[in-house]
Chain A
Amino acid sequence: MKITQHASADTLTLVLDGELDASSSVLLDTELTKPETLQFQKVLINCQKLNYISSAGLGVFISHLQQFQDAGVKLIFFNMQEKVRNVFEILGLDTLMTIVPSETEATAI
């Protein structure tokens, strides 16, 4: 799993490349735990190259969501592959997290 990031004044975008499992989810947790993450109004997760997610990856997002909400930071997923979105849907997480088709829509929220 490779994570790259780019930031504008109010938006941090994390690009996930690869598979998010119990081994690689530590990398994601490290990124989302950085204090500066809470300085942004939006944290966008580009999932175009995210090929797989397990409960470990979901758990990282679940564990940060409340803190983001409390800090007024919107967490938004976009460009998610169907098989990855299906994992969110199995748990009903797609109704608790914001998932949109494109970066344009993510930026517009």
Chain B
Amino acid sequence: MKNALRISCSRGNLKVVRDFVTDSLLNYDLSALQLNQIVLAVDEVVANLIIHANGEDESQHLDLAIDVEDQSFGIEIFDNAASFYKPSSYREPDLPEFIRQGKKGGVGMALVNRIMDRVEFTTQGTQNVCRLYKRLD
């Protein structure tokens, strides 16, 4: 089953995205924990793309396409930001150090990488694409 959604680059649309992901998984027998993890991973990536890749420019949009089949969840997130956004080389967050520094950000991609089975950031023509995959069994 496939579902598609277009949102403008506004933080206020994060709830719309979470509901979109939740609705796409309604018919699959997931625990509340599993469902929340997948919703969270998508939220994290979309938030990064809205805030960091597109500077919260509401004239810009993201296109999301979900494909759930054969017990596998996949989502593609397309954006048109001028520069290719890829999270800086992933390093495990040093949380005690983050706490010492009073650091507010930097743990989102750690969540995504721990939750999803595969995380890809690529370009496709003039668009940037993020793909997330997770087995549902």
By a beta-carbon cutoff of 8 Å, the part of chain A in contact with chain B is 19, 21-23, 29, 52, 54-56, 58-60, 62-67, 82-83, 86-87, 90-93, 96
Contact = CB atoms under 8 A, between A and B. Distances in A.
B111 A23 contact: no
B119 interface: no
Contact of B47 (A22, A60, A86): A22
Given A19-B15, A23-B15, A91-B110, A59 B104 contact: yes
Interface size class of B (residues with CB under 8 A): 20 to 34
A56 B47 contact: yes
Nearest to A21: B14
Contact of B36 (A29, A64, A83): A83
A62 B32 contact: no
Contacts of B114: 90-91
14 contacts: A22-B11, A22-B14, A22-B47, A52-B39, A54-B43, A55-B107, A59-B103, A59-B104, A65-B102, A66-B101, A67-B102, A86-B36, A90-B114, A96-B99
Contact of A21 (B47, B103, B107): B47
Given A62-B104, A83-B33, A52 B95 contact: no
B7 interface: no
